[in-house]
Amino acid sequence: MGSDVANLYGTANADVLAGTAAEVRLSGTHSAGSYVNIARSFDEVNAFGGKGEDHAVFTDAAVDPPGYGPPSDITLDGLAQILWLDSFGKIERWDSSTGSKADDIDNIDRVFAWWE
């Protein structure tokens, strides 16, 4: 992996993360109004939710259940982008080729997703 790392932090309110191979976007509201933080062209993105009320949706990413950690059979240096999700209460994984939800990952403290 390269050395380009982005850290996105949610607020005390419910935040929404949207992730694709092109970008990861975290948005929500806070005391000053609404916000959107976008990470593009980073090798690694770390996204931190709040109290488990945050919702993440990522498209065409892979995950490795049941532990949802990094895959043991793939070298991380060869991946286009990796995403660590921490403290998101609800995570949805979508497949753009079918336009349907591939699966739900709920109440898992830490999830590793990647794009090849």
The pTM score is 0.89
CB 58 within 8 A of CB 21: no
Residue 40 Cα distances to 13, 14, 17, 82, angstroms: 24, 23, 14, 12
Cα 99 to Cα 39: distance, rounded to the nearest angstrom: 24
Mean pLDDT, 10 residues at a time, the chain of 116 residues? 82 93 93 94 92 89 90 84 93 95 90 92
Bridge partners, 24 (sequence order): 19, 39
Whole-number pLDDT of residue 109 = 87
